[in-house]
Chains A and B, each alone.
Chain A
Amino acid sequence: DGGITQSPKYLFRKEGQNVTLSCEQNLNHDAMYWYRQDPGQGLRLIYYSQIVNDFQKGDIAEGYSVSREKKESFPLTVTSAQKNPTAFYLCASSWGLGEKLLFGSGTQLSVL
Chain B
Amino acid sequence: GENVEQHPSTLSVQEGDSAVIKCTYSDSASNYFPWYKQELGKGPQLIIDIRSNVGEKKDQRIAVTLNKTAKHFSLHITETQPEDSAVYFCAAWNTGNQFYFGTGTSLTVIP
Interface 9-residue window, one of B13-21, B36-44, B61-69:
B36-44
A19 within 8 A of B: no
Is the Cβ of B104 less than 8 Å from the Cβ of A40? yes
* Nearest CB on A from B110, distance (A): 22
A47 to B68, CA, bound (A): 29
Interface string of A1-13 (1 = CB under 8 A from B): 0001010000000
Is the Cβ of A48 less than 8 Å from the Cβ of B46? no
Contacting residues, chain A, for B102 (C-beta < 8 A) = 42
Is the Cβ of B103 less than 8 Å from the Cβ of A42? yes
User: Which A residues from 96 to 112 make CB contacts under 8 A with B?
Assistant: 97-98, 100-106, 108
A58 to B9, CA, bound (A): 25
Is the Cβ of A40 less than 8 Å from the Cβ of B103? yes
* Nearest CB on A from B78, distance (A): 23
B98: which of A4, A6, A58 is its contact (CB, 8 Å)? A58
Looking at A41, A103, A105, which has the most chain B CB atoms within 10 Å of its CB? A103
Is the Cβ of A101 less than 8 Å from the Cβ of B99? yes
A4 to B84, CA, bound (A): 24
Is the Cβ of A43 less than 8 Å from the Cβ of B41? no
Q: A97-B97, A98-B93, A101-B99 are in contact. Are A42 and B4 (CB under 8 A)?
A: yes
* Nearest CB on A from B100, distance (A): 8
For the complex of A and B, the 5 pairs showing the least CB-CB separation, nearest first, are A103-B43, A42-B101, A43-B101, A42-B103, A98-B93
On B, residues with C-beta under 8 Å from A are: 1, 4, 6, 9, 32, 34, 36, 41-46, 49, 89, 91, 93, 97-104
22 A-B contact pairs sorted by A residue (CB < 8 Å): A40-B104, A42-B4, A42-B100, A42-B101, A42-B102, A42-B103, A42-B104, A43-B44, A43-B89, A43-B91, A58-B98, A59-B1, A98-B93, A98-B97, A100-B34, A100-B46, A101-B46, A105-B41, A105-B42, A106-B41, A106-B43, A108-B41
